[in-house]
């Protein structure tokens, strides 16, 4: 017979590829997790997220409850849901939720760039239900939310790997103008092997530490002058103000949350291929918004035109000093749960504080340096998990 290898309760000790054999269950659990998140119920959010994640890591399809023997992170609620789906193909609680107006509305509102749960909930309580009601309201939006509404129809479209690679070329050209041997790495979901993303994440560094200072504003200014940037929000590096014992989710790197204006790649079409295929198709079928509509007082509808030759794409740029590069790379590759479990594992089992800048060993009272991700896993006493297996 075979010896069953126990499944770890820590996402950072599991290998989770994109080949999810239990999508029927994980989709349902993700909806419950999302609903908990939209209700600011952190406990249930984590419980459902962990339950979903452990199923994603299983190398087999779950076809009976017995298949879940010894699997951690599955509470009563999650097990009942799986049982119900095994018996009837669906789960009533999930079916009810996706019909629920509050769930639908908060999901829609939080899908706007710059809108978090608290804001979405406030708008919902004020009786607002649709994007056009938001656009027509007297709400004072942030600059980020204005951009989010303006480019909404594009920003909800998945970004393809082809588009991500194209954006990488654009950024390389811009960065190398100011710092020729800077290193630009695609991070986030695309580094984990995903074919689609909600944005494109990049990490920039230079072997000579200090040369990367001031880079981001120069690069963004230049790209803005080229007409490539639709929105940008630059944050300067504030690592000098950082107290490493603070457990912050956000890091202190210089970064820019931006929206790029990506020209559609018509010249890249193969002969015989029409515009209704591939990455161009999505825009053609969407975006029937309110362009030029009289009832759109603040014109927050720039992506509504049907035949425009560009697409708005969210891009995150992060600049790390070379000495922190490996930590930044690990921190920006994700997934969200993988990162969370790495930090939790470091704290509870290594008495260490991990963040996107460093690893601090409380017992030796010292920072542990690392030039590669492999070295960080080794410091933590963990087997190395490559990016493609961090899709927890
Ligand atoms: P998607 O395809 O939806 O973009 P993703 O995994 O790339 O998936 P992102 O939200 O882009 O998701 O985040 C990528 C990684 O960067 C995550 O692991 C997250 O921990 C990290 N991250 C995202 N935003 C921040 C932030 N403001 N500060 C620090 N780290 C962040
Ligand atoms: Mn991303
Ligand atoms: Mn991102």
Closest residue by CA, ligand 1 atom 8: 189
User: What CATH number has the domain spanning 11-97?
Assistant: 1.10.150.110
Q: What is the pLDDT of residues 229-262, one digit of tens each?
A: 999 999 999 998 877 666 667 899 999 999 999 9
Please determine whether the domains at 11-97 and 159-322 fall in the same fold group of CATH: no
Instruction: Write down the ipTM of this complex.
Output: 0.98
Answer whether 226's CB lies under 8 Å from 209's CB: no
Residue in 233, 236, 316, 361 annotated catalytic: 316
Q: Cα(first)–Cα(last) distance of the chain, in Å?
A: 29
Q: Which atom of ligand 1 is nearest to the CA of 201?
A: 11
Ligand 3 centre distance from Cα of residue 193 (Å): 15
**Among 334, 354, 389, which is best to mutate for testing ligand 1, by the most ligand atoms less than 8 A from CB?**
334
Topology of domain 159-322, per CATH? Beta Polymerase; domain 2 (3.30.460)
Ligand 1 neighbourhood includes 37 CB (under 6 angstroms): no
Query: What are the extents of the domains in the chain?
Result: 11-97, 159-322, 331-389
- Asked whether residue 66 is marked as a ligand-binding residue, the answer is no
Whole-angstrom distance, CA of residue 199 vs CA of residue 154? 11
pLDDT tens digits, one per residue of 139-188: 999 999 999 999 999 999 999 999 999 999 999 999 999 999 999 999 99
CB atoms within 10 A of CB 392: 27
Q: Ligand 3 centroid to 272 CA: how many Å?
A: 35
In sequence order, what are the residues at sequence separation of 6 or more whose Cβ sits closer than 8 angstroms to the Cβ of residue 171?
A: 184, 202, 204, 219, 315, 317
Topology classification of domain 331-389? Beta Polymerase; domain 3 (3.30.210)
Encode the chain (392 residues) as per-residue pLDDT tens digits: 677 789 999 999 999 999 999 999 999 999 999 999 999 999 999 999 999 999 999 999 999 999 999 999 999 999 999 999 999 999 999 999 999 999 999 999 999 999 999 999 999 999 999 999 999 999 999 999 999 999 999 999 999 999 999 999 999 999 999 999 999 999 999 999 999 999 999 999 999 999 999 999 999 999 999 999 999 999 999 998 877 666 667 899 999 999 999 999 776 555 554 444 434 333 333 333 334 444 445 678 888 787 899 999 999 999 999 999 999 999 999 999 999 999 999 999 999 999 999 999 999 999 999 999 999 999 999 999 999 999 99
Whole-prediction pTM value?
Answer: 0.91
């Amino acid at each position: 017979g075979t010896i069953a290898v126990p499944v770890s309760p820590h996402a950072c000790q599991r290998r989770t590829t994109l080949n999810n054999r239990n999508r029927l269950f994980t989709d349902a659990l993700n909806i419950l997790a999302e609903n908990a998140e939209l209700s600011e119920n952190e406990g249930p959010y984590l419980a459902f997220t962990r339950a979903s994640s452990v199923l994603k890591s299983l190398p087999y399809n779950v076809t009976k409850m017995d298949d879940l023997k010894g699997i951690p992170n599955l509470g009563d609620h999650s097990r009942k849901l799986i049982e119900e789906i095994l018996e009837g193909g669906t789960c009533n609680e999930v079916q009810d939720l996706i019909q629920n107006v509050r769930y639908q509305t908060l999901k829609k509102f939080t899908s706007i760039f710059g809108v978090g749960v608290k804001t979405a909930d406030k708008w919902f309580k004020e009786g607002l239900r649709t994007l056009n009601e938001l656009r027509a309201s007297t709400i004072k939006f942030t600059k980020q939310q204005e951009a989010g509404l303006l480019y909404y129809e594009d920003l909800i479209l998945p970004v393809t790997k082809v588009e991500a690679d194209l954006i990488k070329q654009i950024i390389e050209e811009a960065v190398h103008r100011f710092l020729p041997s800077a290193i630009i790495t695609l991070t986030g979901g695309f580094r984990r092997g995903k074919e689609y993303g909600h944005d494109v994440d990049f990490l920039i560094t230079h072997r000579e530490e200090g040369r990367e200072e001031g880079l981001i504003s120069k690069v963004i200014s230049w790209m803005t002058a080229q007409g490539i940037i639709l929105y940008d929000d630059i944050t300067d590096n504030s690592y000098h103000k950082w107290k490493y014992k603070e457990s912050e989710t956000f890091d202190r790197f210089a970064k820019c949350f931006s929206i790029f204006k990506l020209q559609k790649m018509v010249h890249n079409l193969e002969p015989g291929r029409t515009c209704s295929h591939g990455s161009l198709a999505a825009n053609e079928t969407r975006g029937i918004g309110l362009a030029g509509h009289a009832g759109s007082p603040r014109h927050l509808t720039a992506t509504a035109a049907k035949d425009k030759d560009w697409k708005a794409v969210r891009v995150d740029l992060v600049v790390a000093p070379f000495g922190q590069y490996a930590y930044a790379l690990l921190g920006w590759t994700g997934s969200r749960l993988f990162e969370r479990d790495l930090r939790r594992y470091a704290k509870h089992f290594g008495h260490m504080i991990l963040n996107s800048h460093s690893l601090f060993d409380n017992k030796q009272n010292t920072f542990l340096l690392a030039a590669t991700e492999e070295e960080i896993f080794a410091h933590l006493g963990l087997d190395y998990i490559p990016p493609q297996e961090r899709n927890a």
